[in-house]
Amino acid sequence: MLMSPSHNYCADCNRDFDSGWALEQHFIQSSNHHHCRKCGRHFEDDDDLTTHCVDDHDYCERCDRFFQNAHGLHEHNRQSHPYCVKCRRVFNSESNLRAHLNSSVHRPRNVPCAFQHHGCTQSFINKSSMISHLENGGCPSGATRKMINRWVQLNDRDNTVTVPRRLLTNGDDTQYIATERSWNGYAYECVLCHNTFGALADLNRHLASPRHQEKMYRCPLQTCLMRFNTLSGLCQHVESESCGILKFRAVREGMNGLLRDMGRLRLVTQRRHMKVLNLFSQRSFHLIHILPFLCHEVAANTEIITFSSSREPPVDLPLDVLGNWSTLHPTDNEWRWLIEPAALHTPLPRACSHPDDAHTPFSSTCPHALWLLLDLDDDKWASYATFTLRLSWAASTPVDFEIALYSLQEVLARHSDSEGNPPRSTHAHASVPPHATTRSRFARIHAVHAGVTTPKLEPSPQSQSPPPPAPPSHVAHAVHQPNATIPFIVILEPVYAGVLPATLLPTIGLLIPIVLVAAAFVPWITASLEPHVQQAREEWRAETFKRR
């Protein structure tokens, strides 16, 4: 590029421009140039330009935006993209982020093997990994996939997670063994899927894997019913939250009971293979044991605040107060966010006002708080006077949330007090006519870690000295590391008659006829099916006695 005080010339395009600004716009808009808007450098192609922007500047590739510093980019990624705050990594989708958060990078190995009393000392990050460990035959106890499948078949009498017709074929006993006749001239070929292998042993391992096993498991969610050929595959599907089954409430104590029951299976060695003898009675296994086992996290914790709307003069809030605050309105009233809880032992009102923290209570950059604008002026909500703001997060997450509502005048007054200027009303916005009023509110959501002190940090039982005082919040932050992000859902909706949220109306309208129909027909159906059920029980008992 040739430039001089008298010319603004582009040598590649052989064009002269009237001003430096026009030349700069040419560099930005022309497809023949790969120009950095931040520093003015030119590159050979878009890949080199993108690499430069990401490596040398605070740049968001997805949004094509530059930021003043790394903190601005960090806050943007946290609020706008699937982003791991702890690792400072952006992911392509929410599912990829969940997989990362559920990996060994962020989750401890606190799920012991169900057969630890048989000498297995391994621990895993989740239950699907533990089940896979048993199915793969890597457990010192000798447990195998065949044992796990048979145990589920004998106990899942309600077919909650198994397909009934799959059990009649007894396909789990079918075993494929390849011979030298599988050689097709250049490799060993699987006759079932036609994949090729370099060694006969590799082909036999492939045939012994669950690849060609019948899909005897299914997701218990009626809107999903996806099928799997292993119990670990089903558990992994549930833990991934891909179908939303974790939204169901279940009795969490049943999960530990199921793992304990699985560990009580007695293993007997006979001729190089293992068989399982069931130690439970016919009534020892019910749906209440299966669902909590699958639903290892239930979004059961809820924080709700109900408020009445009132009108007040509109105010003009500076941009340094608003920051990147999001808006909830009738067409977009439900959001999912990630928040970093404040340190353990931090009082909720001081979550963003620690003496060593530069954040103020109204700061838009505090990682422990989220500010929302509640747009109640929309015409769709004009007839409602009462609203509810609801938070939901996983029951297994040790976090306390608090919601505080502020009017526009209160937010402006607090900001004005810190600046030394009195609050002011305004009609600066063109969309707000003079003497108009608004019902909009601001909501501040902040979170504090509520984890229990680990045994290693508790005082020794033999010690007679009194326990030390609780450490300050910044010390607790360093010890417990509660800075992992917590996902939660926020919903804003109107309330009917002051007590009934709008989202519950369709559910209640559907439940009433269902309850009436069930009350009328269920007793009759139960009485007509009782003889058949009794006969099936007797046949099952006879078959079980023969197997034993």
What digits encode the pLDDT tens for the residues 53-64?
888 888 888 888
Checking if the pLDDT of 500 tops 80, the result is no
Pair 448, 399: CB distance under 8 Å = yes
Q: 297, 323, 345 — which closes off a domain?
A: 297
Q: Is 454 helix (H, G, I), strand (E, B) or coil?
A: coil
Give the pLDDT band of residue 460 (cuts 50, 70, 90): very low
Asked if residue 106 belongs to a domain, the reply is no
* Residue among 117, 144, 113 at smallest CA distance from 126: 113
- Going by DSSP bridges, is the β-strand pair 65-66/83-84 parallel, antiparallel, or unpaired? unpaired
Measured CA to CA, the distance from residue 90 to residue 97 in angstroms comes to: 8
Asked if residue 277 belongs to a domain, the reply is yes
Asked if residue 192 belongs to a domain, the reply is no
CA atoms within 13 A on the CB side of 462: 0
Q: 59, 92, 125 — which closes off a domain?
A: 92
Q: For residue range 219-229, what is the model confidence (pLDDT) as tens digits?
A: 877 778 888 88
Residue the block writes with tokens 């019913």: 225
Checking if the pLDDT of 253 tops 60, the result is no
| Pair 126, 260 in one domain | yes
Asked if residue 415 belongs to a domain, the reply is yes
Pair 384, 288: CB distance under 8 Å = no
Report the pLDDT averaged over residues 434-452. Answer: 77
Q: Is 274 helix (H, G, I), strand (E, B) or coil?
A: strand
Asked if residue 201 belongs to a domain, the reply is no
Checking if the pLDDT of 459 tops 70, the result is no
Asked if residue 187 belongs to a domain, the reply is no
| Pair 33, 132 in one domain | no
pTM: 0.36
Give the pLDDT band of residue 44 (cuts 50, 70, 90): low
Tally of domains within the chain: 4
| Pair 285, 327 in one domain | no
Report the pLDDT averaged over residues 22-35. Answer: 71
Q: Is 302 helix (H, G, I), strand (E, B) or coil?
A: strand
* Residue among 110, 117, 111 at smallest CA distance from 143: 117
Report the pLDDT averaged over residues 167-172. Answer: 45
pLDDT of the residue at 177: 80
Q: Which of 126-135, 453-462, 478-487, 538-547 has the highest mean pLDDT?
A: 126-135
| Pair 493, 351 in one domain | yes
Cα torsion for 417, 421, 426, 428, to the nearest 10°? -110
| Pair 401, 494 in one domain | yes
| Pair 283, 381 in one domain | no
Q: Is 528 helix (H, G, I), strand (E, B) or coil?
A: helix
What is the percent of the chain where pLDDT is above 90?
A: 0
| Pair 382, 448 in one domain | yes
Asked if residue 204 belongs to a domain, the reply is no
pLDDT of the residue at 176: 73
Q: 268, 297, 326 — which closes off a domain?
A: 297
Q: Is 211 helix (H, G, I), strand (E, B) or coil?
A: helix
| Pair 407, 389 in one domain | yes
Checking if the pLDDT of 36 tops 60, the result is yes
Structure tokens at 519: 């009350």
Checking if the pLDDT of 527 tops 70, the result is yes
| Pair 360, 389 in one domain | yes
| Pair 483, 529 in one domain | no
Measured CA to CA, the distance from residue 290 to residue 228 in angstroms comes to: 16
Asked if residue 205 belongs to a domain, the reply is no
| Pair 220, 332 in one domain | no
Measured CA to CA, the distance from residue 340 to residue 359 in angstroms comes to: 14
Report the pLDDT averaged over residues 298-318. Answer: 74
Measured CA to CA, the distance from residue 205 to residue 17 in angstroms comes to: 70
Structure tokens at 273: 């293979």
Report the pLDDT averaged over residues 105-130. Answer: 82
Checking if the pLDDT of 305 tops 80, the result is yes
Measured CA to CA, the distance from residue 467 to residue 434 in angstroms comes to: 63
Range of the domain at 70: 2-92
| Pair 414, 435 in one domain | yes
Measured CA to CA, the distance from residue 222 to residue 31 in angstroms comes to: 52
Checking if the pLDDT of 196 tops 80, the result is yes
